[in-house]
A and B are shown apart, each in its own frame.
Chain A
Amino acid sequence: MTLREADGEVAVLPRWFPTNQGGLCQKGWTAAELLDHPDRLTTALLRDPASGELRPASWDAALDRIVTGIRTVQANHGRDAVAVFGGGGLTNEKAYALGKFARVVLRTRHIDYNGRFCMSSAAAAGMRAFGVDRGLPFPLADLGTADTLLLVGANPAETMPPLVRWLTEQRRRGGRLIVVDPRVTATARQADLHLQPLPGTDLAVANALLHIALAEGFVDHSYVAGRTTGFDEVRRAVAEWWPARAEALSGVSVADLETTARALGGARRAIILTARGAEQHAKGVDTVTGYVNLALALGLPGRPGSGYGCLTGQGNGQGGREHGQKADQLPGYRRIDNLADREHVAAIWGVPAEEIPGPGVPAYRLLDSLGTPDGPKALLVFGSNPVVSAPRAARIEGRLRDLDLLVVVDFLRSETAALADVVLPTAQWAEEDGTMTNLEGRVLRRRALRTPPPGVRTDLELLAALATALEQGPGRPAGRDRGPALSPEPAVVFEELRAASAGGLADYAGISWERIDAQEGVFWPCPELDRPDTPRLFADRFSTPDGRARFHAVQHRPAAEQVCATYPLHFTTGRVLAQYQSGTQTRRVPALRRAAPAAFIELHPDVADRLGVADGEPVRVRSRRGELIAPARLSSAIRPDTVFAPFHWGGIARANTVTNDAVDPISGMPEFKICAVRVEKVAAT
């Protein structure tokens, strides 16, 4: 989008771009309304020990409190007692700086981010299959030319409306759209075929689809032989998933499974996409792997116009996971446990490689350890609101309260900021330069329209200031003269990021801001300035050591929590069109609040009937972890064995009070998408 400022008002103007074709949803149109919002934080806040209230304070006082707090905690409990929590909305420069700040300045191993709740299962599955994780290994426009497009657990009509233009284009050309979702979503309504499985059974569906593809001769055996390894194990694993078995488990009829397998197998160009519905499970990595296996067996990845991809959930969900705010990673998608990777990055950072800490723990484990005897005692939060977005949120809220020091950097008083000891007001997107990497792996520019209001600093400025304050002053061991650890200038940080990522999987060395401006974004990997970038991956080889994609045999397993007599219904969560993530921003935009004013519980009329609940009456959803109360929204678009709630709201309407904190053993992804609940009528007061 383009912004224009006139008479102090910032107006959003759509801009034609190959990804969105100029499309904007209401969240985009209204994004500028937060710039001068009355709730905007323009001063630092410090918790007053006497009253317990957050009170305005000077930056110096706030930084002083943070530096003292960090030094005290680290002196008493060691370096790892301070943790950093980032976000998938931060620019590449900020994500990079945050990782460097944690490893070089704080020298803690504990850094992770909210992308763990978003992309981590797809990332891990992509990494182990293809040797690289780029959400879409092809431009989004390829969706428009697919003969068959399979969307698994994706609802772009509500979560990413401009993408639907490609679905419309695809169907206009005669392509088939097949959607897998337990709810009849706005996206499912547009599909030629909608598979409506029981939540938690997507992997069985994937294995059955591959079973059928094998039985009906759709497997591309020369591709499997020439470009992959490990197929025999997968073939034996899916032999267990004859379609009638998947049908009884998932409720998707054999006929629909067969139609889907044939539509994919018989297509010249076929694309399989997964999103959070398939990924936010304690078996999320295996579920994605099931669909990757299917794509590989059909010979799709690397074939022009075909492939597997995942739909990124946050603004910089892709770039945010490439440059070092993930517990196990260094910039350029390098591994923190790989010696050569550590040495490369250490050289850029000007520190000995052995000084870089080892891997930390994934987000939920990190949050759940806060304030415990062995866990961090101080936490710095950037661009995230875990009080609303973390699973089993009441427990995490308690952990945050147990901290000695909680610092939240935000431009609004989020539910997490409300718990903080120190809140630092930060700049918004229209007030800073930088880059973002979109779901296609295309690096884009963000350009500042204006400077932040007085009293507000950018994340990079405050990280630089904190770094300087922590590196100086009394109480620090006399050390080498490193010079300033962090630059406040995004252009300088980007140059450093280029060098740090050079030779890595996500290689930005050949990307400059000028080059991004000159072409319509630059696709990584892009190692050299004067060589083309990489819109499409895998044409000749995969990014594994031997260049072959890897099959992994995966098996369905039940959800971590099963329905029972006490908790007889499945509970699943998701987004609505007019709200975003934890709602901190979108709940404050009047037009969006009008469109989606409050949380609701979507339930089937039959369930409501049994409870004696009418549409709009408040109901309580209770799990073993807590309860949520919101008005009932009756809809036959949901299965009668399942209830749904959006997760954008806090307080009593917080869906994540109810969700399960079981996590995927590989990715650390929590099981947001299924747990067992009971629904009760709330007695009128």
Chain B
Amino acid sequence: MKRAAFSLLLAGCLQTTGGQLVTFEAEAVGTPEAASFTTPKGYDVVLSRARLFVGAVYLNQTNPSNYALETSCILPGIYTGEVRGSLTVDALDGSAQPFPVTGNGTDAPTRAAELWLTDGDVNDTRSERVVLEAEGTASKGDAGWPFSAVFTIGSNRKQPPRDPALPGSRPICKERIVTPIPTDLTLGEGGTLRLTIDPRLWFSAVEFSELTPSSSAPARFEFIDDSASAGQPDIALYNGIRAAKGPYAFTWR
């Protein structure tokens, strides 16, 4: 009886289907402190350039905890927000760098986020878009390694299927989407979504001493832009920019 009365009360009061559609601004900021830092492996790094190309941002209402095991890069129904405009973020600049488009979404709680590191079709392997540009010098003791990194994610990053029975198990989109980035926010009309990038965490696992020299006079080293490379620094940096936990954080203002 009480339940029926409560239902009737609800029926009389609520005039909404629940939830709300929202539009919002989006911006990215870098981390000025990353201009000079020490990695967990003991390298002192001075960054003169750290730019990440972000094609789009998507927010998820459920944490795709098994995402790594899923093959689908798009899971219809889990999205709470999107910012479908590209921005090259200067990760050393602490000022707000606005995305060129307005974001759309709902006011459902956001639990995770995705960064799409591509400028076009997420499944098109032909893209040669540079997603990472980094320059600097790493040193440990007396040794130094002036380095540069220019990464793309295209056919150079295509992985063979892990099982011939599962030919669709490792699509290129899995390489391009950084997810799930832990997030806890709720979008609202007129607010601003902020992406903070800390490039220090890109280099956390890099053994700079194993970098491949690109020239000897002056001494220069570079990260190889190919997943075929077995070099530890190449793999570590590539994994670093694709790490869901650490380098990226979303906040709502």
Chain B associates with chain A: no
What is A's interface to B at a CB cutoff of 8 Å?
none
